[in-house]
Amino acid sequence: MFENLQEKLSRVFKNLSGRGKITEKNVKDAIREVKLSLLEADVNYKVVKEFVDHVLQKALGEEVLRSLTPDQQFIKIVRDELVRIMGEKNEPLRLVHRPAPIMMVGLQGSGKTTTCAKLAKLLKKEGRNPLLVAADLYRPAAVDQLVKLGNQIGVNVVHDYNKTPVEIVKEAVDVAESTGKDILIVDTAGRLHIDEEMMKELEEIKKILNPDEILLVVDAMMGQDAVNTAKVFDERLDLTGFVVTKMDGDARGGVILSIKYVTGKPVKFIGTSEKIDGLEPFHPDRIANRILG
Ligand code: GDP
């Protein structure tokens, strides 16, 4: 992950290192390289522009030009800016109701169903008592997949092929209340592409569920397509955040570095493996450190 970006940035930093002093031209050259690296990593161009403007402003300050370790100062500025565009700090789930509904949405293949189970496992580990709800009736195998995963982690799954998604959700709320579950994680229908029928179904479920969280699951490998998808979902559903999956793959960084800036909504979790415990809370500073190697 981030190999190209890492390599490019480290070359920029190497060019600055060993110099007792740096000039404005050195800084500008370095920033141009940073800009190209980010564009190559598939970061949204608006994000790149803002990033570059900020770094330029800070790096041309007296402090860097006069510093005895200008390369270190420059790296720090880049690092701080990476953290800032990813949202500064971890944004935890805001669960207020009991049971607290979490609605999971996303396109097919993004990792939505797997993420529902991963999240249930994570919350269970924190001492919560979640219930999974299989309301993705569009992809026939999704229900069986969730039931199987539920069995694996010891979490009940509400499912019924003969009901509509809305009926299943209503039933699940009753089950949660009568069995003392404190969280409902609802797997909703995906599609290969955004379509009106899916959005209407999701809006209907949202109305009934009144979720504390609506998380869009996006695949890091999809690059700016994922960011555009995020914008459309957010406009329709007013999301509370994102889960970016497949961060263990060779994603270039475009999604994780753009999505917060473009939508204003935070990444709350990242998927880090196919395994059931491959889900972590998202910490911008940790990712920035990883990018900088
Ligand atoms: P859905 O169609 O969105 O419900 O997608 P699935 O949950 O079925 O996931 C699609 C594929 O992505 C499956 O093979 C998952 O194992 C895989 N997957 C999901 N999350 C991750 C992740 O964080 N890392 C990796 N490597 N694979 C993942």
As a whole number, mean pLDDT of residues 183-191 equals: 95
Of 239, 236, 247, which is closest to residue 270 (Cα–Cα)? 247
List pLDDT tens digits, range 220-263.
Answer: 999 999 999 999 999 999 999 999 999 998 888 999 999 999 99
Beta pairing partners, 104: 187, 215
Pocket test for ligand 1, best of 132, 215, 245 (most atoms within 8 A of CB): 245
Which ligand 1 atom is the nearest neighbour of the CA of 279?
23
Mean pLDDT of the chain: 94
Is the C-beta atom of 130 inside 6 A of ligand 1?
no
pLDDT higher at 61 or 213 = 213
In terms of C-beta density within 10 A (0-12 exposed, 13-18 middle, 19 or more buried), how is residue 162 classed?
exposed
CB of 161 closer than 8 Å to CB of 143? yes
Which ligand 1 atom is the nearest neighbour of the CA of 139?
2
Strands (E) across 99-150 are located at 100-105, 130-135
Confidence band (pLDDT; 50, 70, 90) for 10? confident
Tell me: pLDDT of 26 over 80: yes
Q: Given this model, what pLDDT does residue 250 score? A: 82
